[in-house]
Structure formats: C-alpha cells, structure tokens
Structure 1
C-alpha cells in the first residue's frame, strides 16, 4: 500500500477530529503523476480505508477503486491549473461555509487580509459562483480564473484548498476556517486589515499569492 493512501486517511481523520467534516461531508485527494487518488462518494473522512480510495485520471476517467466523490472535477481543475499541486482538500466546515454565503471582500478574495496567518498559509481565496455539488461547470469556472490562487470558497457551499503537499492543503483548510470564524465574530465591527506593505512582506517570504 502506498504512503499516499495512508497519508490521505490520516489527513481525513485529523480534519474529522477537528470538527471540520460533519457527517459524510468533504473530500480529499492526492496526485500521483498523471492520476489522482480521491475519497469515495459518501465517505466519512474520520474512517477512511486506505485500500478503498478511488483512482482517477486528471481528466476524471475512473481507473479503479470505488465510485469517487462527485466533486472530483474541482480536484482535477486544481491539478490541471498548476503541476506543482499535489493535494486538494474540500470541506463543509461551518464558519468558512457561512462566509461563502456572504458577499466577497473583493473580486480576488472572498476573505480580507485579516491575519498574517491567512496571508501566509492561504493567500487570496476567490469566491467561485454557485453551482450544484458535482456540477462540472463550477470546475470550469474555477479553471477559467486568470490569476493565481491556491484556495477558494464555493458560493453557498464551502472551502477548497490546494497545496504542494497534503499537509499544506490541510493547513490551509484549517486556517480558512479560523479566519472565517474571526471574521464572523467581528460582526458589524470594522476590523483593521493588514496594510499592503505588511502583506507584501509575508507573501515575499512565504510565496503565497496576493494581488487582491
């Protein structure tokens, strides 16, 4: 059994333990060359069987294993956008999902630069217009965005993150949930946001995208 399968199961257990994957919601994938391993449809992320993952081509052809999550087109869109991407995490975490129901802060980021950790670990995260779960058109809309990003909010749905490692994608998903909780907790209060020079210092050091 490959290390990637075990890592995917461990990541699912971690996210479930943090309360970020209620019920059978959410899906994870890792890229191995020209294919991806993705969680099955209806899977409980807290109880994944490493031997029972779906195997797909990057274009979505089912190569083996159980029926994949219906959200596989979104995963493929991230992999095709950037060859350096090796993992994708999609959750229905409560606070980030709530923020996905609000008007975006800007065209390129639904969430403002509220904390240095959001800028460092996530970077700008656009709001992708609503589509029914599994609709390939939403993956097309994500793929068509002509600026750099490694995370997004799916409108009225939830967050999705990509990373050059599974750990990075998981960390970004956790950070989006944290900053979303802070944003909602501020309510009608007008927060101090990071200044452009402060953002530039962080993005230059950590390599995250931000031109929002």
Structure 2
C-alpha cells in the first residue's frame, strides 16, 4: 500500500513502461515529469502535493528502481478476487469538518463489516460509505449513489507496485471511465456511478484477461 509520497510516485511511474525506462536511464526532466504525473499522484495519495516534493521522490525512485515486469502486474489483477458493493454513497465536505464527522461515527459506532473510504485533496474530504455508514452520519439530499468494484489482490501480490495505475491505464485503453480508483493495501476500489452497470461489467471482463499495457513513445 502506498503510505508516503515516494511510494505513490513509484506506483504511478511503474504503470508506464516509457516513463519507467526513461527514469531508470536518467534521461528525463524531473520537473516536467513531476508536473505531468502530479494529478495521478494526488489522486492516489489523497492530498495536494507540491511539485518539488514529487521531484525529490522521483530522484529517490530513480536510484532504486528496476524495470517492472508488466506480465506480473497484469496477472496480479487478473487473478484477484472481485466483489461488487452496491448502495455506496458519497459525501464531500471541508476538511475542517473531518474531526466532527468522525467524532460522531466513533460515538455511535459502526458494524465491523461496514465499508468506508476517505481521502483528502485540495482542502476537501471525500467520504464513500455504505448504508450503515450513512445511517450514522445522516443522509442528505444530493448525496450521490455509486457501486464499488472491490478488487482484492492475492497475498503474493500485496506489495506489488503499479497495480492500481496499471488498472487505470488498461480501463482507459478500453474507454472505461470509472469515477475514481482508490488503493488501500491489497485492495483496489473502482468507483462507478450507480446506473453505469455496463461499464462495471465490462471492467470485470477486461481486467480478468491479462492485457499488455500500451507503451507510449515520443518522437
């Protein structure tokens, strides 16, 4: 699971064979690359990240990075367990309300099988939760409903970098655009709008067939 910026940067870079090769060769403009991958880094990390911080992480990654075997990454996704979780709602609120929201959750308690995912970016908190979570924090008019595709990687692949970023690129290559992709440990959550069942099932079919990642080339 990516737990710091350097791990997140490695996760993003290893999903692109062209970037991986260029980074390991040292023939790259770190600042330009940091700007390019910043949106993906912030999405996976869940918070805003400065370009200079990404540059420093890229330098660390370049010193220890080896080229990724994408057949292994593809196999990690194809052999994972897939679960569909319906009735997921989303609540977006200022980060200043985070303590109050979780204080209420702590007081009332949640069943151990509840699904709750939280990430922070640009001063806003996005909370995804099932009916049990929203029965505690209260439903509001305008709360949007989603379906989660929960992908559980096998233990042998739990620490493998590049899985979620690879997944995003493969789905994009097949014109499947989920609302979000979130990795937590050996679990990857792909968020779909409730009525977008066609994309959900196409995603499952696509990901369970190991696909070569599309390599990008520059002229």
Q: TM-score, normalised by structure 1?
A: 0.29
Greater relative contact order structure (CA < 8 Å, 6+ sep):
2
Q: TM-score, normalised by structure 2?
A: 0.28
- Structure richer in helix, relative to its length: 2
Whichever of the two has the greater Rg, that structure is 2
- Structure richer in strand, relative to its length: 2
